[in-house]
Amino acid sequence: MKSVHFLLACVLLALASSLASAYDPNPLQDFCVAINNTETGIFVNGKLCKDPTLATVDDFTYRRFNIPGDTNNQLGRNATRLSVDTFPGVNTLGIILARIDYEPGGVNPPHFHPRASEILHVQDGTLYVGFADSNYTLFSTILYPGDLFAIPLGMVHFQVNIGKTDAVAFASFGSQDPGLVNVANAVFGTNPPIKPEPLARAFMLDVNVVKDLQEKFLSSDLAKKHVAACSTY
């Protein structure tokens, strides 16, 4: 029953704002400032642009990216992800930024970006970071303020604030819409849920543990985040 409501909320939110973003082919003119697909009801691979004669410097400017996100949630982290919806001049430019805030102990859980590589730039704090390549070799280290960490396209990676103070890092992506898949959610938090038996076999967990996980993921604040995410990305 909960999942039905969840689904409804998700669909309604999705209807209210476009899921789609744009990305990587070379630009075909100086710029192509994004407009919202849902205004026109026309969807393309990427985004429609506004009339270039109406572009202004505000389209190319994003203000106040120095405001910390709210980390008061189960994982103790917050990601402020920009997109061509919030920063429309970036459309067709092939880059975007995100800001990640971490409280002490905060975890940016294992995830990957299906459409971009990343460079993480630590501004404050001490982060335990790593990525696994497709041979499951872990490349991990500890980053301090001013350090950079490169994460190749599509590799699963994570960060943990192992310091005693808040941390903040900025991520640069080589795509205007890198996408974000938290692997725990993609497995245990889908809507509708994946049947638990094959998940139990795949994760070598008891089927009841899997069911319990699915319940937790759909009712936790991760799930609430999830609702928001499904309507804005």
Instruction: Please state the closest distance from residue 179 (CB atom) to its own copies, in A.
Output: 5
Give the phi and the psi of residue 178 in degrees, each rounded to 5: -65, -25
Q: Count the neighbouring beta carbons within 10 Å of the beta carbon of residue 204.
A: 6
For 102, the token pair is 């971490």
CB atoms within 10 A of CB 177: 25
Contact 90, 96 (CB under 8 A): yes
Identify which of residues 1 and 89 has a Cβ nearer to its own copies in the complex: 89
Per DSSP, the three-state class of 228 is: helix
- Which of residues 101 and 118 has its CB atom nearest to its own copies in the complex? 118
| Residue in 80, 67, 63, 68 with CA at minimum distance from that of residue 225 | 80
User: Minimal distance in Å, beta carbon 140 to its own copies?
Assistant: 6
In whole angstroms, the minimum distance from the beta carbon of 40 to its own copies comes to 7
118 is in an annotated binding site: yes
- Closest to its own copies by CB, 78 vs 91, is 91
Residue 111 labelled as part of a binding site: yes
Helix or strand or coil: residue 100? strand
Tokens linked to 118: 């990343």
**Cβ at position 143, least distance to its own copies in Å:** 7
Q: Which is nearer to its own copies, 2 or 52 (CB)?
A: 52
Q: Are 181 and 208 in contact (CB under 8 A)?
A: no
End-to-end CA distance of the chain, in Å?
25
Known binding residue 108? Answer is: yes
Question: What residues does 107 pair with on adjacent strands?
Answer: 160
Which of 4/119 has CB closer to its own copies? 119
Minimum gap (Å) between residue 67 Cβ and its own copies: 7
Q: Name the binding residues for oxalate.
A: 108, 113, 118
Q: Could you list the residues known to form a binding site for Mn(2+), using ranges.
A: 111, 113, 118, 157
Please enumerate, by residue number, every residue annotated as part of a binding site.
Answer: 108, 111, 113, 118, 157
